[in-house]
Amino acid sequence: MKKLLVISIVLAVIFTACNNIAVPPEEPDNSENVSIEEYYPITENTKYSYEGEGNEFAAYVAFVDYISNNRIQNRTNNGGTESVDVLELKDNQLTLLYSRGETYFRHNFLNNEYGEGKILLKGPFEEGNSWAYDENTTATITGLSKEVVTTLGNYKAIEVTLEDEQGKTVNYYAKDVGLVKTISSGEGYEVSSTLSSVENNIPLIQTITLFYPNIDGSLDTIDVQIEFNTNDEPEDVIEKIVKELSVYEIFSPNTVINELYYDEEENSVHIDLSEDFVTEMNAGASFEALILQSLTNTLGQYYGVQEVYITIDGGPYESGHIIIEEGEPSLVNFDNVNPRE
């Protein structure tokens, strides 16, 4: 049962969009000319909501983080956790290349090297077409025009059944819409997720805690909302929001984030700043140390890491007061942070 629930959660994150979702699609055209993209169209800057039954985490909302070439990075939030998936549309099949749970930060995983992955849907779209989802699970197209009832209308969908010894998960894909429903069942349970709404031009909104120096030598915090549209990079969004809050004295007006990335293997964050960060700081040694600790804590908490590597124009950090040796991380430290009032 536990294994089936895991499969259910992974599959539940697969979602799509349409420009006019209230109009039910036509009967599926199951000729050889039908492409996988017709059953998995992608629309950026769109929020997808699914209502759930049978489990408190069956309902979820989803966004498209990134789109590049034939790959898509999806993000889902089911109220208990936030996760991302990387999918690929290639050779007339939809493949899940990568899935990562507990991912509350923004990072582009599309360009990583992945193996063959797990095939969720593939042509030809013919009833009985079957393939190996993994070593224990077989996927089969079990219907071509199954009616799926949703609050947005009724859809004729391709039914794909994934089954192993412990139970099965059934996914329904409607033409020009995508995944409209998932049902997972086994001994004594059934869990379903059904598309309930699609909202266009909606960004992903996250909250980042900004740490900033206090004149008494401690750190204060403020929670700030940040917005991401599809393909927005974190360095651009974070730089913009920090500069807008310049009163907290983290970045000078001309400071640029040259690079900001999460190192999954080391579980660390690397940020490379322009020289303006140092030359325009106008701070003594103690206040500069507070600024660096503020930056470290801000990024460390957002990405969920303990080590933040700070460099200047690709080289070691060096000012008139502080030198950070090459390869030396700055460590997240909350000891000097004032409690919220």
How do residues 205-259 score in pLDDT, each as one tens digit?
Answer: 999 999 999 889 999 999 999 999 999 999 999 988 888 876 667 888 899 999 9
What tens digit of pLDDT does each residue of 150-196 get? 999 999 999 999 998 889 999 999 998 899 999 999 988 999 999 99
CA distances from 26 to 12, 23, 175, 307 (A): 24, 9, 8, 53
Cβ count near 270 (within 10 Å) = 17
- Token couple for 151: 């609050």
Residue of 14, 192, 263, 44 whose CA lies nearest to 117 = 14
Tokens read off for 45: 């800057």
Q: What is the pTM of this model?
A: 0.86
- In terms of Cβ atoms closer than 10 Å to its own Cβ (0-12, 13-18, 19+), residue 300 is buried
| Ordered domains of the chain (ranges, CATH) | 2-200 (2.40.360), 204-331 (3.30.300)
3-state SS, residue 305: coil
Closest-CA residue to 171 (of 198, 139, 126): 139
For the beta carbon of residue 227, count every other beta carbon within 10 angstroms: 13
Token pair, residue 291, equals: 């600024």
Q: Is 327 left (phi over 0), alpha (psi -120 to 50) or beta?
A: left
| Mean pLDDT calculated for residue range 70-92 | 95
